[in-house]
């Protein structure tokens, strides 16, 4: 049953079938390759996120380990020394207070003196 086809015709049909199979195989391989690339990118993103989380945790642990405490002795000493300056002594005006001429605004209102 050769249907009157020659050997060349059968060879061309075989070559076309082989080429079709080859194209199909290449297409499937391309799809698998794309899936593989997507999986690799996903794995890389996940690894990057884990590395960032580990870096943050290490940073927080370092900060917690090297916490500084306030020097309460120095604060108490400074408070004691400022207390010896007198009753009217403040950090802003000193022991003598504010001069009276600096309080005048130059206006003749009740608030301006």
pLDDT at residue 49 is higher than 80: yes
Q: How much is the pLDDT for 34?
A: 77
The pTM assigned to this predicted structure is 0.35
- Gap between the terminal Cα atoms of the chain: 129
Q: How much is the pLDDT for 13?
A: 75
Higher-confidence residue: 20 or 106?
A: 20
Mean pLDDT for the stretch of residues 53-74: 85
Instruction: List all residues 6 or more positions away from 89 whose beta carbon is below 8 Å from its beta carbon.
Output: 82, 95
Of the pLDDT bands very low, low, confident and very high (cuts 50, 70, 90), residue 106 is low
């Amino acid at each position: 049953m050769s249907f009157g086809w020659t050997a060349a015709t059968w060879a061309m049909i075989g070559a076309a079938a082989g080429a079709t199979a080859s194209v199909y195989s290449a297409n499937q391989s391309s799809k698998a390759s794309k899936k593989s690339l997507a999986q690799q990118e996903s794995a890389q993103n996940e690894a990057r996120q884990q590395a960032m989380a580990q870096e943050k945790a290490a940073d927080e642990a370092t900060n917690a380990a090297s916490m500084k405490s306030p020097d309460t002795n120095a604060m108490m000493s400074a408070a004691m020394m400022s207390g010896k300056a007198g009753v009217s002594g403040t950090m802003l005006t000193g022991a003598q207070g504010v001069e009276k001429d600096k309080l005048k605004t130059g206006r003749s209102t009740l608030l301006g003196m």
